[in-house]
Amino acid sequence: MDILKNNKRTVLLLSAVILANTGLQILVPRFLSAFIDRAETNAPMTAITLIIAGYLFTVAAQKGAGLCEEFISCRLGGRITNRIRHQMLEHFIDLPMNKHDTFSSGEIMTRLDEDVEGVYEYYQILFLRIGTSVLLLVGVILSVAMKNRLTALLMLAVSLFSIWIYKVISDFGTKCYLKSSQAAAVFNGILKDKLDNLVEIHLAGAERHALVSLKKAMHEKFRESLPAGQMYGRLWRASTVMEVISVGGTLLIASLLWDKGMISLGTAYLFYNYVDLIYAPLQSFRNHLGGLQNASARKKRVEAFLKEPAENGIPEEHNGNCTPSAQAVPYPAQDENTPAASLKDFSSLEVRNLHFSYQEGTEILRGISFTIHKGDLMGIMGETGCGKTTLVKLLARLYSCPAGSIFINGLELDSYSLKELREEILYCPQKPQLLHASLRDNITLFDPDIRDEDIYKAINALGLELWLEGFERGLDTSFSSAEGSISAGEAQFVSIIRLFLRHPQVIILDEITSSLDKKKEKELMNAIKRLSGERTVLMIAHHPEALRMVNKILVLDGGILVEEGETRRLMNNPGSLYYKALTAGDEKGGISL
């Protein structure tokens, strides 16, 4: 409703056009009724001509009002849907990371596209279509009542009974459409996941598994969509019965009244015409009720999505530090009267007895404790699934810590504002996200304060001049197919340049060399060396050799920190896990413990 208030003038104009259109529709049959009565009584040709002229003018005006109504409503609809999409996207960005993981990209696309369209469709049907139909219905019944109250009462009774029948069917149908909409969103998410990972599916020989899972999703979508698809048929059959009763009853009453001389032939025709006019809004009510069911279900999904607590929400069980719960929860909002601590002078990051689990009873991290100081380069190793990525996401506050403590400069992590943490602790994922935009915009992320000169300085400082020369159009190169337009290594170079331009205190690199060949890996590691400078770097490496450059190494196994020490000492200790992995040349980056 706030969006409608922001478009108050457009809403008022649309309301005026709707009233005019409705009034003209009621007026048109009266000209035909008057024409029949004048012709029957041999009225002067001048009077008949005026009636014909009035009829033609009224019809033309009514059609014009209808066009204006459609134009204004479409324009208003575009504004409303774009605004709702903007709100939903903002809210999605503000959701904590554990909520992001519950939505597939295909499901989010469904929420932002189909569900948002459903919200506007809901209000359009409810106020514009059904509201207009009710207004027309009331106008027709009042007009008939001026001629004959009995006929008006019959029309009113049939109309109210029809609306009640439609409403009963609609209430049942909304539940069906809600399930159908949810099944469609899940199917879209699974389908997009399969399409995005076709290469991996073929390489793993998992085509059959992919088809089976897709078939199950299709079956579920069909099973939930079938009851929803049957709703319109039920509405159509009910409306047909009501139409027969309405038309038959009105014609019977009109015939009896005309036979007794109580009404003229023109009035009898007017009653029939008004019955047809009444059936039009009832039919519209029926036609749009099916859409209203679907739109109502989508509206509820949007409302439920917007009620998801944002990252600065305060959970009831939060006690000011990390909660004892096994589930990830948002951090508390900052007290406006208490200034947040500053990260500009970073000195150390300490982790104490950190625990984490995605589900009750299954701990991913168990009692992790370590300290990293300013300027340190720390490497993190371990087998797949040991909790490496989860650990660094906790440090970057992409997840909240459920049990244990994280300190920066001696202060708990939640002492710092989320804004400053995002500015001073930057996380680079294994698969960087590239946008459908130019190389310049992918590096700056549309920040107008970053000039081309700054980008060139960063590229030169990182030793990536030859890499940039590989693009014929330089910074103007367009990535029309997103991450598919350049190699994984080049995408990581974009991420490294982004990090350099942001000047963070702490940099977290999550297996950024995992999909690179030896040449690209060497180039990237050289760029990271230049990037680090006096910054603090935590790096998860795919290959043990990639950690030769760091000065400290952590080894995780099953969520437990099993080895910690300086790189040189571990490299020269045949009993260390890092030494064994390094000498074995484990290409998978795994460590057998």
Supply 551's token pair.
């000065």
Q: What is the pLDDT of residues 425-452, one digit of tens each?
A: 888 887 777 888 888 998 998 888 899 9
Supply 110's token pair.
């469904």
> In angstroms, how far is the first alpha carbon of the chain from the final one?
61
R_g over Cα of the chain: 34
Q: Among the residues of 325-410, which ranges form H helices? A: 388-395
Written as one letter, the residue type at 255 is S
Tell me which range, 16-25, 216-225, 317-326, 414-423, is most confidently predicted by mean pLDDT: 16-25
* Predicted model pTM: 0.58
pLDDT band for 332, please (50, 70, 90 cuts): very low
- What's the mean pLDDT in 392-403? 81
Least trusted range by pLDDT, from 119-123, 459-463, 495-499: 119-123
Q: Which residues of 564-588 are buried (b: 16+ CB within 10 A; e: fewer)?
A: eeebeebbeeeebbbbbbbeeebee
Give the residue from 502, 487, 490, 488 showing the smallest Cα distance to 449. 502
Better-scored residue on pLDDT, 264 or 242: 264
Pairing of strands 425-428, 552-557: unpaired
Better-scored residue on pLDDT, 530 or 333: 530
Residue 369 CA to residue 346 CA, distance in Å, equals 19
pLDDT band for 149, please (50, 70, 90 cuts): confident
Say what angle helices 231-259 and 149-196 make with each other, to 10 degrees. Answer: 160
Least trusted range by pLDDT, from 280-289, 333-342, 384-393: 333-342
Q: What is the pLDDT of residue 503?
A: 85
Q: What is the pLDDT of residue 173?
A: 66
Q: What is the pLDDT of residue 215?
A: 86
Residue 194 CA to residue 566 CA, distance in Å, equals 42
Better-scored residue on pLDDT, 66 or 151: 66
3-class DSSP state for residue 474? helix
> What distances in angstroms separate CA 570 from CA 423, 537, 546, 563, one per listed residue?
33, 19, 14, 9
Tell me which range, 93-102, 296-305, 330-339, 372-381, is most confidently predicted by mean pLDDT: 372-381
Q: What is the pLDDT of residue 554?
A: 92
Tell me which range, 321-330, 338-347, 530-539, is most confidently predicted by mean pLDDT: 530-539
Q: What is the pLDDT of residue 112?
A: 74
Contact status, residue 399 vs residue 328, Cβ threshold 8 Å:
yes
Q: Residue 455 class from Cβ within 10 Å (0-12 exposed, 13-18 middle, 19+ buried)?
A: buried
Q: What is the pLDDT of residue 289?
A: 62
Residue 577 CA to residue 563 CA, distance in Å, equals 7
Please, what are the domains in the chain?
Answer: 2-306 (1.20.1560.10), 348-584 (3.40.50.300)
Written as one letter, the residue type at 274 is Y
Q: What is the pLDDT of residue 290?
A: 59
DSSP sequence for 245-306: HHHHHHHHHHHHHHHTTSS-HHHHHHHHHHHHHHHHHHHHHHHHHHHHHHHHHHHHHHHHHH
Contact status, residue 193 vs residue 104, Cβ threshold 8 Å:
yes
pLDDT band for 56, please (50, 70, 90 cuts): very high
The percentage of residues in the chain with a pLDDT greater than 70, rounded to a whole number, is: 82
Q: What is the pLDDT of residue 320?
A: 32
> What distances in angstroms separate CA 586 from CA 340, 343, 401, 540, 565, one per listed residue?
45, 38, 32, 15, 20
Give the residue from 80, 77, 78, 85 showing the smallest Cα distance to 111. 85
* 216 pLDDT more than 60: yes
Q: What is the pLDDT of residue 232?
A: 64
Spacing of C-alpha 559 from chain mean position: 33
DSSP sequence for 160-199: HHHHHHHHHHHHHHHHHHHHHHHHHHHHHHHHHHHHHTHH
Pairing of strands 362-373, 348-359: antiparallel
pLDDT band for 385, please (50, 70, 90 cuts): confident
DSSP β-bridge partners for residue 350: 371, 407
The dihedral through the CA atoms of 226, 232, 238, 240 has a sign that is negative
* 61 pLDDT more than 90: yes
Supply 487's token pair.
């190699």
Residue 576 CA to residue 555 CA, distance in Å, equals 10
Contact status, residue 125 vs residue 288, Cβ threshold 8 Å:
yes
Which DSSP category does 438 fall into?
B
- What's the mean pLDDT in 37-53? 84
Residues near 104 by beta carbon (within 8 Å), at least 6 away in sequence:
189, 190, 192, 193
Written as one letter, the residue type at 187 is F
Q: Residue 241 class from Cβ within 10 Å (0-12 exposed, 13-18 middle, 19+ buried)?
A: exposed
Give the residue from 280, 281, 4 showing the smallest Cα distance to 123. 4
Better-scored residue on pLDDT, 476 or 88: 476
Average pLDDT over the chain, rounded to whole? 78
pLDDT band for 99, please (50, 70, 90 cuts): low
- HEC string for 25-85: HHHHHHHHHHHHHHHHCCCCHHHHHHHHHHHHHHHHHHHHHHHHHHHHHHHHHHHHHHHHH
3-class DSSP state for residue 344? coil
Residue 465 CA to residue 275 CA, distance in Å, equals 79
Written as one letter, the residue type at 330 is P
Q: What is the pLDDT of residue 318?
A: 33
